[in-house]
Amino acid sequence: MTDEREISKLADALYRRVDWEWARNGDLAVTHGWKPERGFLRFRWEGYSEAILLYVLGLGSPTHALPESSYPAWTRTYRWKEVYGHEFLYAGPLFTHQLSHVWIDFRGIRDDYMRERGIDYFENSRRATLAQQQYAIRNPKKFAGYGERCWGITASDGPGPAVRRIAGIERRFYDYRARSIPYGPDDGTVAPWATITSLPFAPEIVRPTIRHFHVAHPKLLSTYGLLCSFNETFREGSRHGEGWRSPGYYGIEQGPIVLMIENHRSDFLWSLMKRSPYVVTGLRRAGFAGGWMSTTA
């Protein structure tokens, strides 16, 4: 059976083959992808998102690294906003404040952008999480179920596509969509997986919300935990007038739950990734310093 060292060697070999220089397609920002039939996609990784991990890996490559100028070219597309009294580097869907944090411990380390604002990316994700709860408390579109202990707006499956008139209001419902606060799209769909994945950032509001999901929505529970998403406003076709529930699970959503619970409990994955020379090199080339990086060679 393949042992851990062989897996590590294979991963290292594959990582060295990634041509980040090619992925720029002549610009500083990395493209979204390439298709054999059509070539490079016209969009690039711009605006704060989960791509912070992508840029760190690209900068840390020992073979075909991104130029250091790629990182400030990306951060120049950031948007700093105040949402419900919380100032933070803005991205609307909650997952964008989580996925890079699954792998990298951003507590106490800062790049130039965050140094200017006096916080780190971990605190930024905490503020984004608190803003999510405040959006649900205010519930500007008056969706059923939203509140202090029912929040989590992100990319998720949904009950649409459909348009329905409910209680005199015409509502548009989506299928899989990158739902966002405070500007939308939002159709009343809550994603418990995104709430749980925020556990390291704001446990004082995440834990009560998890308990609420278990008590108030027991049918969300099954063998693998909570279903990916549900919508209390969309009740068409449901039994006994209950709201819509996602029929399945998605690995891209279930995986972060397990990993972030473990990071919160023991720092396991964060500690493991701190030993990766490529991650550390990428962070340094992006301008990160302070915190745990002060004691890392």
Count other Cβ atoms within 10 Å, centred on residue 218.
8
Nearest CA to 105 among 285, 274, 229, 234?
274
With pLDDT > 90 as the criterion, what percentage of the chain qualifies?
85
185: Cβ contacts below 8 Å, ≥ 6 apart: 174, 177, 178, 179
Nearest CA to 133 among 182, 186, 68?
182
Whether residue 2 is predicted with pLDDT greater than 60 in this model: the reply is no
Whether residue 214 is predicted with pLDDT greater than 60 in this model: the reply is yes
Which tokens hold the place of 225? 């935990």
Rounded to an integer, the average pLDDT of 185-206 is: 98
What whole-number distance in Å separates Cα of residue 216 and Cα of residue 219? 9
Which tokens hold the place of 126? 């905490």
> Given pLDDT bands bounded at 50, 70 and 90, which one contains residue 295?
confident
pLDDT tens sequence across 114-141: 999 999 999 999 999 999 999 999 999 9
What whole-number distance in Å separates Cα of residue 185 and Cα of residue 223? 30
Whether residue 240 is predicted with pLDDT greater than 60 in this model: the reply is no
Q: Where are the alpha helices (DSSP H) in 104-240?
A: 112-117, 121-138, 192-197, 203-216
Which domains does the chain possess? 1-78+271-297 (no CATH), 91-266 (1.50.10.140)
For residue 31, the SS3 value is strand
**Which of 13-17, 72-76, 241-245 is most confident?**
72-76
Q: How far is CA 118 from CA 11, 89, 143, in A?
A: 36, 12, 36
With pLDDT > 70 as the criterion, what percentage of the chain qualifies?
96
Least confident of 3-7, 93-97, 278-282: 3-7
pLDDT tens sequence across 151-177: 999 999 999 999 999 989 999 999 999
Count other Cβ atoms within 10 Å, centred on residue 244.
23
Its sign, for the CA torsion 158, 161, 166, 170, is positive
Rounded to an integer, the average pLDDT of 61-68 is: 96
